[in-house]
Amino acid sequence: MKMWAGRFQKESDKALDAFNSSIEFDKRLYKEDITGSIAHATMLGEQNIISKEASLEIIEGLEKILEDIENGSLEISPDAEDIHMFVEQVLSERIGDNGKRLHTGRSRNDQVAVDIKLYLKRMVGEVKEELITLLETIHALASDHTMTVMPGYTHLQRAQPISFSHHLLAYAQMFMRDITRLTDAYNRADVMPLGSGALAGTTYPINRYRTAELLGFADVTKNSLDGVSDRDSLMEVTFCLSMIMSHLSRFSEEIILWSSHEFAFIELDDAFSTGSSIMPQKKNPDIPELIRGKTGRVYGDLTTLLVMMKSLPLAYNKDMQEDKEAFFDALDNTIACISIFTKLLATIKVNKDKMRAAASKGFINATDCADYLTKKNVPFRTAYKIVGTMVAYCSEKKIGFEDLSLDEYKEFSELFEEDVFTAISLDECVMRRDIVGGPGPGSQKTQLCELSEFIASAKK
Ligand code: ARG
């Protein structure tokens, strides 16, 4: 029998039950639902809205339900309409009339809103933990490669030499921003909607601040219509997850490129690579490819939420039941991706020689060669032109700048001296780019230090 059966003359159609039900996916909110109800019942008792005995009996009953679900002795019934109905039904079956007092001054609309926020707050913590482990892994790897020279690219064409640590630490910047972005979204989500009722609050003298305190919310929502209608925090956090996936997918793409024979900058560990069913020589980067693929899926979840909320009138509409699957899917996949990517990154083998060899070709030191002349007071555009003709000359002869004699240099400009060879050496080119934010060793040290400090404060 339905909780709301009184108003109806007929049993609901089985097809409606199946279509309407959300228990299959909202059962994962059982802990938040029970915690929310315990806080509500505590407050109801304290305010004498229900008797102290009723409050205690409800709390004990709910604690037992939580224990039984967790130890497997109480199975969440697939026949219930949703997790909220299920918990309340079991409570009433177990303790009778007092169980029926739990829903005093509350609606499923503010109940589901508080449950999802409690869950969101817990999961934001988990995502951040995964990101911190990833940052620690990047820190460890980058520390080993502050002097490893590699080509930096634009348009995927060799551009200027950088250190491998610099490339890795660029991703650290993105993941640090992801963590602060999540903190930001968390803080905005940290207001409790319970007490909004169905839409118009309640006539009972409830104490919303007390319930918020019991549930660990920083504040309460300030408009009951907004309290039950608002799914901003879900969309915001799903955007944060999409952004994380965007960063992970770019990193994955580079891992895929770097592990190809054409680059061979890194080798993936056997434990994190896959083979081919037909080509015995293959070692495939399935993990980063799947991360790239799942990025689209998480963007899809964000689109689902945005479109689902678009143009909904206030306050609660059943459309909003659709928020959970998209949000849970985005969370599950993002957490799984960060976690496996971290393991993969921790085990890569770096081929320094290949990186250096790639940086030695392609006139990657052309800018430095031009800078050499500008330091001798040649205007940059003129120096640029001189080095351009040198590139054409060397390309024709299939040689690099290193292979030119000083006499040949002098044919392009009298200002070239013996020290040009050091000035355009790979290591010099990287070392001298040591401004704030540059790939040079001093900047690497600073970036690593700041990353350590960030990690330490994020762990608090
Ligand atoms: N299962 C519903 C949801 O997830 C709970 C809220 C139901 N409220 C209602 N008025 N039907 O959105």
Distance 342 CA to ligand 1 centre (A): 37
Count other C-beta atoms under 10 Å from residue 48's C-beta.
10
Helices (H), 12-51: 14-20, 23-26, 30-46
Report the alpha-carbon distance of residue 31 to residue 35 in Å, rounded: 6
- Cα 417 from Cα 415, distance rounded (Å): 6
Give the pLDDT confidence score for residue 21 in this predicted structure: 96
Residue 87 Cα to ligand 1 midpoint, Å, equals 14
Torsion on CA atoms 53, 56, 57, 63, rounded to nearest 10? 180
Instruction: Determine the pLDDT at residue 148.
Output: 97
Looking from the CA of residue 316, the nearest atom of ligand 1 is 10
Instruction: State the Cα–Cα distance between residues 445 and 366, nearest whole angstrom.
Output: 26
- SS (HEC) of 303-353: HHHHHHHCCCCCCCCHHHHHHHHHHHHHHHHHHHHHHHHHHHHHCCEECHH
Angle at 316 between CA 310 and CA 318, to 5 degrees: 80
What share of residues in the chain are helix, strand, coil (percent, to 5)?
Answer: 65, 5, 30
Minimum-distance ligand 1 atom for the alpha carbon of 22: 1
pLDDT in tens, 329-362: 999 999 999 999 999 999 999 999 999 999 998 8
- Of 211, 22, 188, 183, the C-alpha closest to 110 is 211
Q: Which atom of ligand 1 is nearest to the CA of 198?
A: 10
Contacts of 246 by beta carbon, 8 Å cutoff, 6+ apart: 295
Strands (E), 383-426: none
Residue type, 87: V
Mean pLDDT of each 10-residue bin along the chain, 460 residues long:
78 92 98 98 98 98 98 97 98 97 97 98 98 98 97 95 97 98 98 98 98 98 98 98 98 98 96 82 91 98 98 98 98 98 98 96 90 95 96 94 93 95 92 94 97 96
Q: Residue 81 C-alpha to ligand 1 middle, in angstroms?
A: 9
pLDDT at 362: 82
By three-state DSSP, how is residue 276 classified?
A: coil
Q: Which of 23, 108, 322, 327 to mutate to test the pocket of ligand 1 (most atoms within 8 A of CB)?
A: 108
pLDDT score recorded for residue 283 = 85
Tell me the CA–centroid distance for residue 117 and ligand 1, in Å. Answer: 15
Nearest CA to ligand 1 atom 3: 321
What is the model's pLDDT at position 32?
Answer: 98
Atom 12 of ligand 1, nearest CA residue: 321
Query: Can you give the pLDDT at residue 9?
Result: 84
Q: Which of 109, 116, 117, 312 to mutate to test the pocket of ligand 1 (most atoms within 8 A of CB)?
A: 109
Q: Which atom of ligand 1 is nearest to the CA of 82?
A: 1
Compute the half-sphere exposure of residue 348: CA atoms within 13 Å on the CB side of its CA: 29
Which residues make beta-bridge pairs with 153? 158
The ligand 1 site (C-beta within 6 Å) comprises 22, 26, 82, 108-109, 112, 316, 318, 320-321
Q: Dihedral, CA atoms, 427, 428, 433, 435, nearest 10 degrees?
A: 110
Active site residue 276: yes
Q: Which entry of 12, 77, 260, 276 is annotated as an active-site residue?
A: 276
Distance, CA of 371 to CA of 387 (rounded, Å): 10
Q: What pLDDT shows up at residue 65?
A: 98
**Strand 266-267, strand 349-350: pairing:** antiparallel
Query: Which candidate in 73, 155, 311, 457 is catalytic?
Result: 155
**pLDDT confidence of residue 276:** 78
Distance 159 CA to ligand 1 centre (A): 56
Q: Is the separation of the CB atoms in 90 and 83 below 8 Å?
A: no
SS3 label, residue 158: strand
In one-letter notation, the amino acid at residue 66 is: L
Atom number in ligand 1 closest to CA 320: 12
Dihedral sign for Cα 296, 298, 304, 306, please: negative
Residue 222 CB partners (closer than 8 Å, separation 6+) = 191
**Residue in this structure with the two tokens 């001296």, named with its chain if needed:** 417
271 prior amide bond cis, ω within 30? no
CA proximity to 350, closest of 358, 362, 361: 358
Our mutation pick for probing the ligand 1 site, out of 4, 82, 103, counting the most ligand atoms within 8 A of Cβ, is: 82
Mutate to test the pocket of ligand 1, among 2, 81, 318 (most ligand atoms within 8 A of CB): 318
Distances from the Cα of 441 to the Cα of 24, 171, 293, angstroms: 54, 18, 36
